[in-house]
Structures are given as C-alpha cells and as structure tokens.
Amino acid sequence: MRVGLFGFPVAHSASPRMHNAAFAALGLAGWQYELWETAPDQLVRRIAALRADPSIAGANVTVPHKIEVMAALDGVTERARAIGAVNTLYREGDRLLGDNTDSAGFIADLAAHGVTVDAHTQALVLGAGGAARAVVHGLLSQGARVRIFNRAAGRAVTLAADFKTLGDVRAVDDLSAAGDTPATLIVNATSAGMSPNEDGTPWPPGLRFPGGATVYDLVYKPATTRLMREAAAAGARIIGGIGMLAEQGAQAFARWTGKPAAEASVIMRRTLGATPQ
Ligand code: NAP
C-alpha cells in the first residue's frame, strides 16, 4: 500500500523517513510513504487520482492545501471541523475522509514530557494561524484556560471567537504584562524563529517570562530556537516541536494501518531523535 504527502513544496519533509521506518519496524512490508508535490491548481486532480487508486490508503496534507482540500472530501472528523483544517486523509469504505491529528499530537507530546494539561493549566498561545488553531483546540479539549496573542491582533480575536463554545478562551492585545500574568504553559505557534530566520522570536526582547512556566515551541528546525534559549536562561522548562511532529504522524499512521499509534510513535520518535528527556 502507498500513502504520501500533498503539499507545495514538500521536498523538505521528514515524514517519509519516520513513516517508512515505522512501516519497516512494524512488519508492514510493501507499505511506503511518498512525496506528492502538488501545486494549488493540481489539488482537485490529485484527489481524484487518489480516490481511483485502491493501492493508496490515504495521505497527509500540508501547506497550502489544508483548508481547500476539505471541499473535495466526503466528510471530516469533528476535531478537523472545529480546527477548520485537515492534515490527514483516510478511507472508510468508499468514503474519503479528513482528520486533523495536530491537536492530539500536541497534547500527546506534552504528555510524553510529563506535562499534564487540565483545568489548572493557564496557557498563553502565541500565533493565530493553522497550527495555533490546532493547539487552542487541543488545550481547550483538556479543560485549560487559554489566552491568545498574535502579531496581527484581529486574527487572535477571530480565533478566540471561533472556539468560545469549547471553553475559557480570549485574545490578549498586549504582552507587556505577560511576565506578571499567571501562565503555566506558553506555546509558540508562530513561525518566528524557524529556519532560515533563526534570529526571530515571538517573545518581546527583555520581557520577563512568567515564573515556573513551561515554554513549548512548535518550531522544530532548529531544534533549539532563540525563544527556547532565552526561556531556558530565564529558568523556564523548554520543549521543542519535534515530538509533536512524531505524534501527529503516529496518529495518521494508525488511521491508515490499524496499528496502535503508541507503537508507531516509539519508532518515529527514535527516527527523528525526539525521545523526551
Ligand atoms: P501560518 O498559518 O502561516 O501562521 C503563521 C503565524 O505566525 C501567524 O500567527 C503569524 O502572525 C505568525 N508569525 C509569522 N512570523 C512572525 C514573526 N516574525 N513574529 C511574530 N509572529 C509571526 O503557519 P502555521 O501552519 O500556523 O505554522 C506555524 C509554525 O508551527 C511553523 O513554524 C510550523 O512549522 C510549526 N508547526 C509545527 C508542527 C509540529 O508538528 N511541530 C505542526 C504544525 C506547525 P500574523 O498573523 O501576524 O502574520
């Protein structure tokens, strides 16, 4: 069987390495993960080809197709609908369905690091793009209180409004008081600090970090971002995003193969060097 990644571009993706390692380690001979670079105007044709080919078990979907692909499917899971984006396609009988494994992948990686998210968690999420939507969904589904800050403030307001039925979520328009505001978990869901712009950070230079906070950075390239270095120097616990990459992949893998996500996750973490310390 085959699975693959629709996106543009996709050459940089770590997904083939981790999925193919899990196929081999879990005895799925004949399974392979491929890269299917797909320009925006090719998406509809690509989905039709996938539907017509029974040797394809499913796919991952990445930028720029995560939202547009939904219109070409027979349905999406409740969490994908809430997040408003799909990263995994899978078959159920004759139907081609969409799921979003990013929010559960994020929560699973926190759990792997021994961080419990519950009603005592006071989270500050930086960003309001697709990844932030998955993170906010994951946090609220565990009962956390969530505050959202985004450079373009209006997008944070919209995000908070979209999720208000799921729990205590609000946009904040200023980070200057963040050092004095209780926050147990700060999450960078922006692309600030991502290679090749490694000097970037979403945290205003000189601003204190709340005491005792864990800082989770979704960026995984570089493995240690400027935000993580500065947070660690200020005494915070830091976690990078490579484990979330493994966990969201393991959940997609389980959808396609029926194997437990936990088994795939062990292999994928090892392949990516994402073993929690
Ligand atoms: P996106 O939809 O393009 O959103 C980008 C977000 O980053 C927006 O909120 C944008 O703010 C903000 N931003 C960009 N540059 C910034 C800067 N210099 N300072 C402050 N904010 C900035 O992207 P995405 O899909 O949400 O992905 C965001 C990041 O998460 C990427 O680095 C991606 O690689 C990572 N990610 C990791 C995983 C994982 O498994 N670890 C999964 C998904 C995504 P404005 O609205 O103001 O432009």
Q: For residues 171, 175, 176 and 179, what is the CA-based torsion angle, rounded to 10 degrees?
A: 110
Give the distance (Å) from ligand 1 centre to CA of residue 53.
34
Atom of ligand 1 nearest to the CA of 134: 43
pLDDT in the model for residue 255:
97
Give the distance (Å) from ligand 1 centre to CA of residue 157.
16
Q: How far apart are CA 48 and CA 44, in angstroms?
A: 6
Q: How far apart are CA 44 and CA 64, in angstroms?
A: 13
pLDDT in the model for residue 178:
73
pLDDT tens profile 153-170: 999 999 999 999 999 999
Residue nearest to atom 40 of ligand 1 (CA): 245
The residues near 195 (Cβ < 8 Å, ≥ 6 apart) are 221, 222
Give, for ligand 1, the residue of 191, 227, 245 to mutate: max count of ligand atoms closer than 8 Å to Cβ: 191
Q: Are 69 and 43 in contact (CB under 8 A)?
A: yes
pLDDT in the model for residue 32:
98
**Measured from the CB, is residue 132 less than 6 Å from ligand 1?**
yes
Residue nearest to atom 17 of ligand 1 (CA): 192
Residue nearest to atom 38 of ligand 1 (CA): 218
pLDDT in the model for residue 181:
74
Positive or negative, the CA dihedral 172, 178, 183, 188 is positive
Angle between helices 242-257 and 261-272 (to 10 degrees): 140
Q: How far apart are CA 61 and CA 153, in angstroms?
A: 27
**Measured from the CB, is residue 248 less than 6 Å from ligand 1?**
yes
Give, for ligand 1, the residue of 67, 190, 228, 268 to mutate: max count of ligand atoms closer than 8 Å to Cβ: 190
Give the distance (Å) from ligand 1 centre to CA of residue 33.
26
**Measured from the CB, is residue 190 less than 6 Å from ligand 1?**
yes
pLDDT in the model for residue 225:
98
Which residue, chain included where needed, has tokens 């979330």? 244
End-to-end CA distance of the chain: 35
Q: What is the largest CA-CA distance in the chain?
A: 57
Q: Which residues are designated catalytic? A: 66
Residue nearest to atom 7 of ligand 1 (CA): 190
Q: What is the mean pLDDT of each run of 10 residues along the chain (277 residues)?
A: 97 96 97 97 96 97 95 97 97 97 98 97 96 97 97 96 97 83 92 96 94 95 97 96 98 97 97 87
Q: How far apart are CA 83 and CA 130, in angstroms?
A: 8
Instruction: Residue 139: name the closest of 225, 218, 67 by CA.
Output: 218
What residues does 36 pair with on adjacent strands? 6
pLDDT in the model for residue 131:
94
User: Residue 161: what residue type?
Assistant: A
pLDDT tens profile 51-78: 999 999 999 999 999 999 999 999 999 9
pLDDT in the model for residue 177:
76
pLDDT in the model for residue 160:
98
Strands (DSSP E) found in the chain:
2-7, 32-37, 56-61, 75-76, 88-92, 95-99, 122-126, 145-149, 169-171, 185-188, 214-217, 237-240
